Amino acid sequence: MAYGFDNIGKVPELQKRILFTLAMLLVYRIGIHIPTPGIDSAIMAEWFEQQKGTLLAMFDMFSGGGLRGLSIFALGIMPYISASIIVQLLGMVHPTFEQLQKEGAAGKHKLTQYTRYLTVVLCLIQSYFMAFGVEQMTGPGGEPVVLFPGWGFRLTAVITMTTGTCFLMWLGEQITERGIGNGISLIIFAGIVASLPVAIYNTVRLTGSGELSIFALIFLVVFMLLVIAGIVFMETAQRRIPIQYPKQIRGRRVYGGQSTHLPLKINISGVIPPIFASSIIVFPATIAQFFPNVYGMKAVASAMNPGGILYNVIYVIAIVFFTYFYTAVVFNPVDVSDNLKKHGGYVPGIRPGKTTAEYLDKVLSRLTFVGAIYLSVVCALPMILIGKMNVPFYFGGTSLLIVIGVALDTMSQIESHLISRQYDGLLKTGRIKSRR
């Protein structure tokens, strides 16, 4: 492992990509501490302390702590994720968007533009409701959070927070293009990791004050280690479908005849379903949190607290839906079958063409079912236990899944850069067997 990290310094391009990624994430973390104009950040933070155990705490986790002080990045990257969900759903039901998905790079570019425009629309709506809700908030002593409420503040807040999310969207795209790893996922990753020291401190404080027993803490640590081990195992597990290419004799030479495999991950969708599910739940529930005096809003906000029955039911349903949905987006059995047939490949015992596509679809359906159950258990079960033990959300399965999943994906990309340049990677030590 250490030898693999040493090799990073031998690849100037990879070094530049990693440094660029770190620089962009540093810019993001600096912006988290810049408050929206017109906000008393101290009073806002005091009010936020009263919201422990609510969905706002989870939203704050995904925004990297930006909501706590209503920073310029208070909305986080969630509006962009919500817009991506809507555009991808339209690709399955609307002919125009479906056609764009099949047009390759040009179609992808247009869909990206539509996603950006929709992100701005969602930001305008969400930031207005958030600004209006913040005007109604007061600190523990009755001090107003907003210094000068009114349309001036609302307009400023809407422009500021919308611009902040658009900047994060651009930042994520830059990381993906010029850095290492998926930019959007890394921004969420950085927000969660940055909050871990505070979460650990709060847990130690709870233990010292007697609110959390030492036995509960030991159970929590052991449970987290088991969850981490389970996540690593499931995220790296594969179902390998054997692929055979026939031999071809040209003159005196024999070509082809190789045996290979098609690797299918058990969790093909990765960390996308929990992120998508959280984005769907957070948007309406957050609005409800800011309007407790409106009829029915308080009941909705209370029912949607993490760990509650309604929240977990909706969360699990959303995870299962997005697991199947995203798997269908990233893997098309018909296209894979056609490509195999085009290059002369086949699955032993399975007729090429339609029969192969049906076989791949059957295998994929089983894997997706297992993946959906795995994601639901990892995300929902720890949340229930943590809610009963009164510890921070940062120890929940969702945050662990995102952190570990993004870390593994980023390491895999670094690994690819190293191996492509004939260096040993991070995941293995020593020389690669196939290398002469």
Task: Write out pLDDT tens, residues 77-118.
Answer: 888 888 888 888 887 777 887 788 777 778 888 888 999 999
Domain annotation covers residue 428: no
434 in any annotated domain: no
Global pTM reads: 0.78
Q: Is 259 helix (H, G, I), strand (E, B) or coil?
A: strand
pLDDT band at 435 (very low <50, low <70, confident <90, very high): very low
Q: Kindly state the tokens that stand for 312.
A: 């977990």
Q: List pLDDT tens digits, range 251-283.
A: 566 555 677 888 888 888 888 888 788 777 776
The lowest-confidence range among 188-197, 241-250, 353-362 is: 241-250
352 in a structural domain: yes
Of the candidates 240, 248, 242, the residue with the CA atom closest to the CA atom of residue 344: 248
Residue type (1 letter), 235? E
Please tell me the distance from the alpha carbon of residue 194 to that of residue 200, in angstroms, as a whole number: 11
Does residue 135 lie in a domain region? yes
What are 125's two structure tokens?
A: 């709506």
Q: Check if the beta carbon of residue 157 is closer than 8 Å to that of residue 131.
A: yes
Burial class (CB in 10 A: 0-12, 13-18, 19+), 362: exposed
CA distances from 19 to 94, 176, 192, 407 (A): 41, 13, 20, 16
- 69: tokens are 């002080």
Whether residue 430 lies inside any domain: the answer is: no
Domain count, the chain: 1
304: domain CATH number?
Answer: 1.10.3370.10
For the chain, the maximum distance between any two Cα atoms, rounded to a whole number of angstroms, is 91
Beta strands in 285-428 (DSSP E): none
Contact call for residues 289 and 54 (beta carbons, < 8 A): yes
Structural domain harbouring 40 = 2-420
Per-residue confidence (pLDDT) for residue 111, from 0 to 100: 87
Q: Which two tokens stand for residue 374?
A: 């795995």
Q: For the CA atoms of 223, 224, 227, 233, what is the dihedral angle to 10 degrees? A: -120
Mean pLDDT, the chain, as a whole number?
79
Residue 208, burial from CB neighbour count under 10 angstroms (0-12, 13-18, 19+): exposed
Residue 288 counted as domain residue: yes
Residue 408 within any structural domain of the chain? yes
Task: Summarize pLDDT for 150-196 with one digit per residue, the tens.
Answer: 888 899 999 999 999 999 999 999 999 998 888 888 998 888 888 77
Express each pLDDT in 121-139 by its tens digit.
999 988 888 888 888 777 7
CA angle, corner 161, sides to 160 and 162, nearest 5? Answer: 95
pLDDT of residue 4: 55
129 lies in a domain? yes
Confidence at residue 302, expressed as pLDDT on a 0 to 100 scale: 64
Q: Residue 376 and residue 318: Cα distance in Å, rounded? A: 9
Please state the length of the chain: 436
Amino acid at 218: I
